[in-house]
Chain A
């Protein structure tokens, strides 16, 4: 089973677990499995159409899945996926 690393801000939705092991042949399948296990995560990870929110990045090991095959990126049993919230901001103008 692949390991999904849960970022600190979202751990309250996974019973404070820092990582969750999930089945899934692709990133999409792994994320779907995660939100099935922890439905409260869904609004923070997915848009209404089921795609990953713009403010969330997913890495397979040290690579952004956007540089791979996106949500269709293949996941192995020993893969580590990291969910990473976008951290940005700035002044008003």
Chain B
């Protein structure tokens, strides 16, 4: 199965700027959008940063609080979008899912990973969990011409 994830330019910029600013810690957030072709193609129209709630070493770990997760699900319903997945950064590490990423992965979600090297955004990848094989499959990341959802429309 071949998955594709298309990013609106403003959304990609938002993610890059946030995760560069979070360096040297791991930053994270949710992203929302639409999907077609039975879920094989996803269009990311909105990203929203959340606090890394990990107690301890945030240079190596991130954690999203249950209440922030609930807010994201609520936002998706209110906006009529799908909660498509989670993004996070790998400070000074490759944008490849770790054993920890895999252990915590849930079905359906796309997982965007951004490698941030010495504070500068490097490679951006995206992945989906193949439950049958217990491993991640890479999504082809494309850039689209879709308009990101304006932040001012959010309450």
Contact = CB atoms under 8 A, between A and B. Distances in A.
A85 B106 contact: yes
A17 to B, nearest CB: 12
A57 interface: yes
Contact of A8 (B64, B66, B76, B88): B76
A89 B66 contact: no
Contacts of B77: 18
Contacts of B91: 91
| Chain B, interface SS category | mixed
Contacts of A10: 106-108
A86 B111 CA distance: 14
A84 B66 contact: yes
Interface residues on B, range: 20 to 34
B104 A92 contact: no
A89 B93 CA distance: 13
Given A8-B82, A57-B66, A86 B104 contact: yes
B95 to A, nearest CB: 10
Contact of B66 (A9, A44, A59): A59
A92 B28 CA distance: 17
Interface residues of A, number: 25
Interface in B18-41: 26, 28
A63 B100 CA distance: 27
A23 interface: no
29 contacts: A9-B106, A9-B107, A10-B106, A10-B107, A11-B108, A55-B106, A59-B67, A62-B67, A64-B66, A82-B70, A82-B73, A84-B70, A86-B63, A86-B104, A87-B86, A87-B104, A87-B106, A88-B54, A88-B62, A88-B100, A88-B104, A89-B97, A89-B98, A89-B104, A89-B111, A90-B26, A90-B62, A90-B88, A91-B100
Q: Which 8 A-B pairs have the closest CB atoms?
A: A90-B61, A89-B101, A92-B98, A9-B106, A87-B64, A9-B108, A88-B63, A91-B93
Interface of B: 26, 28, 54, 60-64, 66-67, 69-70, 73, 76-77, 82-83, 86, 88, 90-91, 93, 97-101, 104-109, 111
